[in-house]
Amino acid sequence: MDLGGKRAIVTGAASGIGRATAIKLAEKGADVVLNDLNEEGIKETEQEVQALGRRAVAVVGDVSRSEDVQMIVKQGMETLGGIDILVNNAGIARSALVVRLSEEQWEEVMAVNLKGVFLLSRAVLPHMIKNRYGKIINISSIYGRIGAIGDANYAASKAGVIGFTKSVAKEVARYRINVNAILPGLIDTPLLRGIPEKYLKPMMEEIPLKRVGTPEDIANVVAFLASDEASYITGAAIEVTGGWNM
C-alpha cells in the first residue's frame, strides 16, 4: 500500500481514529492536512507525522461551517499542492432517548457528522475531478446500519453518511474517484470511553472476537481504501466490528 507522493486531509485528527489514520497514511508515504477543533491535539499529531519524514499542516476548524471547510482545503492546496485523499472522520455524539432529545442535540450531531462530510466532499471534488483521480473515505458507524438506543441522532447521521457515500460514488466514478464508507464497531476512542460500564459490558459479550477494536484497526482499512490496490472498490460500506452484529 504505497501512498508515496499522495496528499491527504484527515478530519478529527487530534485523537482516536483520526490520529491513527493520519499516522498510518504518513507511514505509507502520504503528506497530511490535519483538522480538528482541538488545537493542542492536532499539533501533537502534526509532530508525529513530521517525525515520520512527511509534510503535515494542522488546521483548526469546524467541519460544519462552510467558511472553515474552505480554509481547510485552501491550506491543503497551498501547502501540499493538491488533495488526493479525503478522510471524513470528524464526529460527535450527544446521547439521549428520543423523548428527551433536544432539537439542538439533533442539529449539532447532524451538522458535524453529516453536513461536514458533505461540505468537505463538495470542496475537494472539483480538484479531484480536474485531476481525474481521488479517494474519499467516510467514517460512518455500525450504528448507521443497526441503530442504537439513546443515540438516534448519531445513528441517523451515520446512516446518512452511508447513503451519501453510495450516491457520490455513482456520480464521480467516471472521473476515477473512489468513494467508500467504513462502519466501525466498538473502537477504543474517547467516544467509547464515555459509555458507562453497565452498557458497555453486554455489548462486549456480543463481539465474537471478544475485544474492542483499536483506532489502528480502522486506520489499516483506510490506508487500503486510499491506495490504488483498492481501485475497484467504490460505493462500499465496510464493517470493521470484530463480527459484532453479524
As annotated, the active-site residues are 154
Q: 121 CB contacts (<8 Å, ≥6 apart)?
A: 86, 88, 136, 138, 164, 168, 179
Tell me the C-alpha distance between 20 and 222, whole Å.
10
Q: 66 CB contacts (<8 Å, ≥6 apart)?
A: 119
Contact by Cβ (8 Å): 204, 148: no
User: How many CB atoms neighbour CB 187 within 10 A?
Assistant: 23
Tell me the C-alpha distance between 144 and 166, whole Å.
14
Task: Report the candidate in 189, 219, 236 with the shortest Cα–Cα distance to residue 93.
Answer: 189
